[in-house]
Every structure is written in structure tokens, then in C-alpha cells.
Structure 1
Amino acid sequence: MPPRAWYLAAGFVIMCFNSLYQYTWNLLAPMIGRAMGLGVLAEAVGFTIYVIVSTVAQPAGGALADLRGPRGVGALSAVLSALGFIGAALAPGPALLYLAWGLGSAGEGVLYGIAFNLAVKWYQDKLGLATGLVSLGFGLGSAVANPLIASVGNYREATLAIGVVELLVLVPLSLLVDYPRGLSGVSPRRALLDARFWTLYASYALGAVPLLSLASSLHLLVGGGELVLLASLYPLLVGAARPLLGALADKWGPLKAIYLALAVSAAGTLAMLAGLDIVGVIAVGLTGGAIIILYLNLSSRIFGPKYATANNGLLYTAKAVGGTLGSAAFGYVYALGGARASLLFAAASALAAMAILAAQRGLERPLPRDPQL
């Protein structure tokens, strides 16, 4: 069996490609809108589909990966992810484009769960740092791709190229990963019956709103050269702080790190109200991007690593709620009240997430593991 560092590296590469569905949208959406004559709300549909489908696919794919191992599930998911980009390039209209994007999003979601939980299962001794390093790829991939997409200027050529590269890289790589044996944990059924799971769920759904609002709608708030700069910088920021905040979670505990990330994310959103767009994007990108790994770290500590792909996949579905709030709801508030109202909405969501966590007693206490069969 390869050294565990190999699995960390494989998870990182998979994450680099996973990020393309989320963090290229600020550049692809205006191109698609111009080519197909779509308005702001119609453009937001693609991002909403991605968030909902990718998150809903995770628990089912995660359960299969926990039961049968990640190889076959990962390879099939890699094919779907690649075909999503290829289908988007070839689609003659928005309906087929959204269908292709949805199928690809399902593959991306399952791959995300496999990549993240390679770190969870192989690095229980350095959980925060390892998951942070793997998740660094979820920003870095798009930071490389976005300038190339902007230079091409044609969404069909860009998405076709991405899809072909995914077929060539992700499918064989997915066949080379595996999970360790002999882990303990809490089954998804028991996790769902624990009130703390739902506390984490509600808090993450709200806490993700600032990050996902900028991921889907940054083009509504800034334009021109600043948009290209920030759209390229944003995914890099999203990944950059994940190893640091993951290491802090190992030292402080994940709950304290979550409070820090939520507070700075809310402050960054408010900074944009004062016209400090670059400062705000940096703050939200650095801390908002780390929020998901911190919540999944806390979940893994409470419920254990054995069923982590399924349990974390269930928790990750809260991103569908956060994504709907951060794309469709954010766009609706923007249409009604402009940038100020929509940014206040995003900041209030992060503050509400902190309040939900503070109301739950004994949040970090591990749940007794299922007996080994």
C-alpha cells in the first residue's frame, strides 16, 4: 500500500478540479448570459443547480465509498464531472446546459467527499492540517483556470477543454485511491438522531452564505478589470487559509476556529458596504473558504472516521441551503434593494450561524462509537 502522503496528494489534485464547478462561475455566467440572452436570475440558476445537486449527491456516494471503497465510485464520478463540462460546451440552449451542469455537479459532489475524507481517514492525528491541505486545492485549481478562461473569452471552448482534461486526469487517479481499514465511528442513522448534527447543519447553512454569495454573484458587485482580478484571486484566497485554520483547529479545537472564521467573514462582507471591495473579498475568501473544513472537522471528531464520507456528506448538504440563500436569495435581495441590502443579508446570515452554535451545549463531546462487528 502506498504511504499515506500519497492519498493526501491525490485528494489535493482531485480538489483542484472540483473547484472548477464553483469558482469559475463568476467568469462563465456572464459569457453564458451574453451568448444565450439570459438575465441575472437565470444566470444564478446554474450555480444553484450546482450547489444543490453536488451536495445532495454526496451522502449516497459517500455511503457507497465507505462500504465498497472509493475507487469505483470515484472513477464513475470523475466521468460524470468531465461530461458535465463537455455537455455544457455542446448544449444548444440553457435547458440542456443546465442538465449537463447538473449531471457534472453530481460527480463533482461525490469526488469532493472522497477527496476530503481521504484526509479524514488517513490523518486522524493531524485532522485539521491534513484536511486543510487537501482543501487548499479547492481554491488553487480555479485560481489557475480563471485567467485562462478570461483570456479565451468563450465559454464553449473553455468548458470543453476542462472536460477533456478531467477525463484524462481524474478517471485514472480515482482508480488509485483507497481508505484504511479498522476505523471506528458512528453510523449515519445515529448521527442524524443526535441534536448536535442539526445544530451544525443549520449553522453551516447560514455561515456559508457570505462565501457562496461572492462565488455566485461577485459580478453583480464589481466589474471590469477588478472583476477578473478578484474572480481569479478569490478561489486562491478560499484555499490559502485552510491549512492555517485547520492547524489552529488542531490546537484550539474546531469550534473556536469556526467562531473566528464566521466573525471575520461577516466583517469582510460589511467592509464591502464601505466600498472596500478588495479588503472584503480577501476577508471572506480567507475565512469563509475555511468554514466548511472546520465544520467537517468538528463532525468527524464527534462522529468518528469510519462513516465519515457518508456523515460528512450529509452535513455537506447544508451547502445546498446555503447555496440557495447565497445565489437565488442573494440575487433576489439584490434585485429588490441593490448591493447594500444583499451584503447586509449575507453578513446577518454569518452572525446568525454563530448564535446557533452558541446555543448548543456540549457541542464538541464525542458520541460513543458503534461496536465493531
Structure 2
Amino acid sequence: MNYEKTKQLTKKRWAVLVASCMINLCIGSLYVWSVFAAPMADYLSSVTLSAITASDLAIVFTIANSVGPVTLISGGMINDKFGPKWVVFLGGLLFGIGMIGSGFAKSIPSLMVSYGLGCGLGMGLVYGCTINNSVKLFPDRRGLVGGIATASYGISSVVIPPIANVCIHRMGIIPTFKLLGIVFILVICIGAFFIEKCPEGFVPAGYEEKMAQKKNGGKDKKEHTRIQEEKNWRQMLQDPVFYIMITMLTCGAVFGLMTISQASPIAQQMIGMSVMSATTAVSVLALFNTLGRVAAGYLSDIIGRINVLTIMLVSSIPGLLLICTSGIGDVVKFYIGVSIIGLCFGSFMGVFPGFTADQFGQKNNSVNYGIMFIGFALAGYLGPTIMNQVYSASGNYSLAFVIAIGLAVLGILLSLLYRRKTR
């Protein structure tokens, strides 16, 4: 790129980031499932004339989380060759159609196809492009921008629940799905035309000079971030560090997805909250999830990705203990616990795009991060499944949080192993 084009893109990249954030706000509604689950269970119970609970629908959320990497990887390959615009457009169509299709669901299997497969696959196409393209456009602020881009995805769980609850109360769950689907198609598909592909080797205007000044001042950014040679997905899979990182991601995501998937039922059954109060708890969890993504992303640019991840794994343990030991009426204790869990989970989501790019290079990060995201998908299966199985066996959720503490400890040990392997 010549200097003028570089200068133009350096300014335009902020508009691309804003468009990406608006799009992510829509696809982040995938994680509002706990708000949809109870009214949808009631609706299906009336249609099928059988007793269906929100826990019975946990498989829908599990599928939606599990299929994301399929399109994250395939969409990443298309993105690297042709750019993100049409990938995001098609992903937006698929996501919106999946949401609309949920408004026609008459059974759990049909909901698994519409919400689980449709929304899950659509989310993967969109998320991979918006996150990785944004990170590539900001090599000077990789952690912060990764945090902002993923935070816009997470804040959907703050913005959408109140809107969804009003719509469900006034129209019912079925019209709500259809309305949201139409709105999401419009926002994502229009926003796609504001997304511009980051050219290979793009360096923002003035960035090299700033780096030179930092080096001369003895504050080289490389002290805190490991920038390795460019590796494609095959080379990444041959690196033992990849398996440490992906397992660490799974450990850090399980407790978050476990809590998010059943946040409203947990608040109602463990703490005795009303439906509206439980919805507020979901929003608090989502708010701290969002704050964690931005704050951890920014902090990781300063003290390093692995340092932030280790701090969050350690911090998650008291948060899990607070929820685990909460009972009827322990509202403050519960709120503190979900706030900590949201903050720690969000940190993993905000840091890992930049962490992957640091370790395996920026060039192939669309595909590499898509593969790394399999760790998140595994957590999307394990978290709700553990929660559902524990509740079915014991009638409460406490043991699930004990299991999550064990996984957090495993994550801490893996972070120490990562340091040893990359020393």
C-alpha cells in the first residue's frame, strides 16, 4: 500500500470497528437464551401437551455454541481470500433466518435446527470476520480492539434482555423471535457493506515511528507480547503450545457459559428471585462480561496476555465459591459472584483473539482463531451439560460450581506450563 492509502485506511478503520461492533451487538443475542428458554418451554409445553422445562431446552444453547467453529474456520478461509463483506452478509442472513425460524418452531428438534444450527452457524460466519478483521486493522492496539470488538458482542446480553422481555410480555415469545430476526437481518446485512478487508501487512500511519520511539526509550512493547513468525493452521496444530492454549480457553470459558446458560433459573431457584429480578441478574452478569473484555484487552497490551489470563483464572475461584455457597435470600452475595464470573469470562473472550495472533502470527489469524475457538465450543457443550446433569441428579446447581473451580485450577496450572514452554 502507498502512504496515502495507508493514511486513509488508518482513519477509516475506526468506522470499520464501529460497524463491526453494531453487527456483533446483534449476533451476541445468541447468549440471551436464558431469557428465551422459559417462555419457549411454556409455549412448547402447550403445543406438544407435554411438560417441557427450560432445562430440557439446554441442548439448543449447547448446539448453538458447538457449531460456531465450523463456520468460523470455513468463513475465515473465505475471508482471507475474498474479504469479510460477503461472509458477514451471508452470516447475517443465516442468523436472522434462524431467529425467524425459531418463531415457527413447534418442537425441540425444530428449535435445535433453527436456533441451534441456524443462529449458531450464522454467528460463526459473522463473528470470525468482525473480530479478526478488526484485530488486523489495529496491530498497534491489538488487545484493546479485540476487547472492544468482543465487548460489543457481550453487551448484547445487557441490551437485548429488557427489549426481549417487553416484547415477550406484550406479544409472546413467537412474534418476538420473528421481530428480532427481521431487525438483525437488516442491521447485519447493511452493516456488512461498511466492513473493509485489512490488506496484508497493513501498518497504520505513524505506527513504525512510535514503535521506534518506544524501543529507544527502553519500553519496547514486545516485552509484554510474544510476536512469533507467521504460522498457518497446519503449523499451529504441530505446535504443543496450541494445545495448552486451547485447553486453557476451555477451562476459562466453561464457568462463564455454565452460568450464562442458566443464569435466570439459578437466580430464581437458588436465591429465590422473581423473574424480573433474575433478568436483572442476567444483565449484571452480561455487563461485567462486557467490562472484562475491554479492560482485560487494554491491560493485556500493557502487562501481557498470559498475565491477564492467569489473574482472571485465580480471581474466578472466589466468584464461583460465592455462587456455590449462596442460598435463598443471599442476593448481594450472588450478585458479587456473578459479577466476578462475568468479568473473568469476558477477559478470556477479549484477550484470546490477540493472544492467538501474538503466538501464531497475524496473517492467518482468521483461520487460526477459528480453530482455537473450538476450545470455546467445547466449553459451550461442557458448561450447560454439566449444569443440566448436576441439576437433574441433585435438584440444585452447587456441585456444578465445584466442578468449575476444579477447571479453573487446571487453567492456572496450564498458564504456568505455557510460561515454561515459551520461555
**1:274 — aligned with what?**
325
Give the RMSD, CA atoms, in angstroms.
1.6
Structure 1: how far apart are the matches of 2:154 and 2:68? 17
Do the aligned residues in 2 keep the contact of 1:296 with 1:315 (CA within 8 Å)?
Answer: no
Deviation string, structure 1 residues 231-257 (Cα, Å, up to 9, x no partner): 122222211221211111000010000
Report the count of equivalent residues: 364
Q: How does 1:208-357 map to 2 (within 5 A)?
A: 208-223=253-268, 224=274, 225-275=276-326, 276-337=333-394, 338-357=396-415
* In structure 1, C-alpha distance between the alignment counterparts of 2:317 and 2:372, rounded to whole Å: 22
- Tell me by how many angstroms 1:41 deviates: 4.1
Q: Which moved more, 1:119-128 or 1:249-258?
A: 119-128
Assess if the C-alpha contact under 8 Å between 1:55 and 1:320 holds in 2.
yes
Q: Could you tell me how far apart the structure 2 residues matched to 1:127 and 1:244 are?
A: 13
2: CA distance, partners of 1:182 / 1:52: 30
CA distance in 2, matches of 1:176, 1:12: 11
5 Å matches for 1:64-213? 64-101=78-115, 102-153=117-168, 154-183=172-201, 185-213=230-258
Task: Give the match's secondary structure for 2:262.
Answer: helix
| The 10-residue stretch of structure 1 (290-299 or 193-202) with the greater mean CA deviation from structure 2 | 290-299
User: Aligned equivalents of 1:179 and 1:262: distance in 2?
Assistant: 34
Q: Which of residues 5, 14, 35 in structure 2 aligns to 1:5? A: 14
Q: Equivalents in 2 of 1:335, 1:90: separation in Å?
A: 29
Q: 1:21 aligns with which of 18, 30, 44?
A: 30
Asked if structure 1 preserves the Cα contact closer than 8 Å seen for 2:151 and 2:350, the reply is: no
Q: Which has the larger radius of gyration?
A: 2
Q: Secondary structure at the residue paired with 2:195? A: coil
Does the CA-based 8 Å contact 1:41-1:332 persist in structure 2? Answer: no
Partner of 1:55: 69
Q: Over residues 227-286 of structure 1, what are the superposed CA-to-partner deviations in whole Å (9 max), with x where a residue is unaligned?
A: 111112222221122121111100001000001111222221111123221001100111
- Aligned residues of 1:268 and 1:279 also touching (Cα < 8 A): yes
Q: Identify the range of structure 1 (341-350 vs 123-132) with the bigger mean alpha-carbon deviation.
A: 341-350
Measured in 2, the distance between the counterparts of 1:133 and 1:149 equals: 24
CA pair 282-361 structure 1, distance change in 2 beyond 3 A: closer
Instruction: Provide the residue aligned with 1:370 in structure 2.
Output: none
The 8 Å contact of residues 114 and 309 in structure 1, kept in 2 or not, is answered as yes
Paired AA for residue 353 in structure 1 = G
Instruction: Give SS of 1:186's match.
Output: coil
The code of the aligned residue for 1:241 comes to G
Cα-to-partner distance string for 1:162-184 (whole Å, 9 max, x where unaligned): 11011111112113312222338
Show the counterpart of 1:371: none
Instruction: Tell me the residue number matched to 1:30.
Output: 38
The structure-2 alpha-carbon separation of the partners of 1:363 and 1:34, relative to structure 1 and needing over 3 Å to count, comes to: farther
Cα distance in structure 2, aligned partners of 1:237 and 1:10: 23
Q: Distance in 1 between matches of 2:365 and 2:77?
A: 9
Q: Distance in 1 between matches of 2:80 and 2:238?
A: 20
Could you report, residue by residue, the CA deviation over 1:191-222 in whole angstroms, capped at 9, with x for unpaired residues?
Answer: 11111111111111121111001111113321
Separation in 2, partners of 1:129, 1:349: 27
Letter in 2 for 1:51: N
Give the Cα separation in 2 of the matches to 1:351 and 1:64: 38
CA contact (8 A) 1:200 1:295 kept: no
Runs of 4+ residues deviating >6 angstroms:
none
The one-letter code sitting in structure 1 at the alignment partner of 2:121 is A
Structure 1 stretches lacking a partner, 5+ long: 366-373
Post-superposition offset of 1:361: 4.5
Letter in 2 for 1:346: A
Contact 1:81 1:108 in 2 (8 A): yes
Partner of 1:369: none
Distance in structure 2 (CA, Å) of the matches to 1:360 and 1:145:
37
Question: 1:322-360 CA deviation, whole Å, 9 max, x = no partner?
Answer: 111100122102222322211111222122112122123
Structure 2 unaligned residues grouped into runs of 5+: 1-7, 46-51, 202-228, 269-273, 327-332
How far has the Cα of 1:40 moved from its partner?
Answer: 4.6
Percent of residue pairs identical: 23
Classify 1:240/1:98 alpha carbon distance in 2 versus 1 (closer, same or farther; 3 Å): same
Give me the whole-angstrom Cα distance separating, in 2, the residues matched to 1:332 and 1:29. Answer: 17
- The answer to whether the 8 Å contact 1:7/1:118 transfers is no
Q: Which amino acid aligns with 2:81?
A: L
